[in-house]
Copies of this chain bind each other. A is one copy, B any other.
């Protein structure tokens, strides 16, 4: 498994909670933003896919929290993708930029819906 996309971001202070570290739900936001940047970098558009009748949706997500990020920390979201059955599996890891320490390890399962029904689509193959 090899990362094929990377997005650099920076923690904003309002994303931190009372403990001074990023609130866990915000990592999910970071992962989503990184996927959208990835899709865009490959010329894929949700609007266009929707027009073709296919909607990719998140079916499941697993996140392991390793090292918490703090306000103004810069970090990298690195992404790899595999296709298993009807699922596209996004392997997304977040690294703190200052020392490349692993912060969050995630797996995001995406499935495609055609008219709301699960479908065996290859529409995301350009990502692989």
B58 touches A18 (CB 8 A): no
Using Cβ atoms and an 8 Å threshold, which residues of chain B touch A120?
A: none
Q: How many copies does the complex hold?
A: 4
Q: A122 in the interface, Cβ–Cβ < 8 Å?
A: no
Tell me if A128 is interfacial: C-beta within 8 Å of chain B: no
Given the complex of chains A and B, what is the CA–CA distance between A59 and B64 in angstroms? 6
A101 adjacent to chain B (CB < 8 Å):
no
Contact assessment for B25 and A13 in the assembled complex, using a CB-CB cutoff below 8 Å:
no
Which interface class (under 10, 10 to 19, 20 to 34, 35 or more) fits A?
A: 20 to 34
Contacts of A25 in B (CB 8 A): 14, 25-26, 28-29, 32
The secondary-structure label for the interface of chain A is mixed
Does A72 lie within 8 Å of B20, measured CB to CB? no
Separation of A63 and B25 alpha carbons in the complex (Å) = 12
Interface set, chain A 19-44, CB cutoff 8 A to B = 19-20, 23-26, 28-29, 32-33, 36, 40
Q: Are A63 and B65 in contact (CB under 8 A)?
A: no
Q: In the complex the two chains form, what is the Cα distance from A62 to B58 in whole Å?
A: 12
**Do B58 and A24 have beta carbons less than 8 Å apart?**
yes
Selected contact of A33 from candidates B13, B19, B24, CB within 8 Å: B13
A residues touching B (Cβ–Cβ < 8 Å)?
12-14, 16-20, 23-26, 28-29, 32-33, 36, 40, 57-65, 71-72
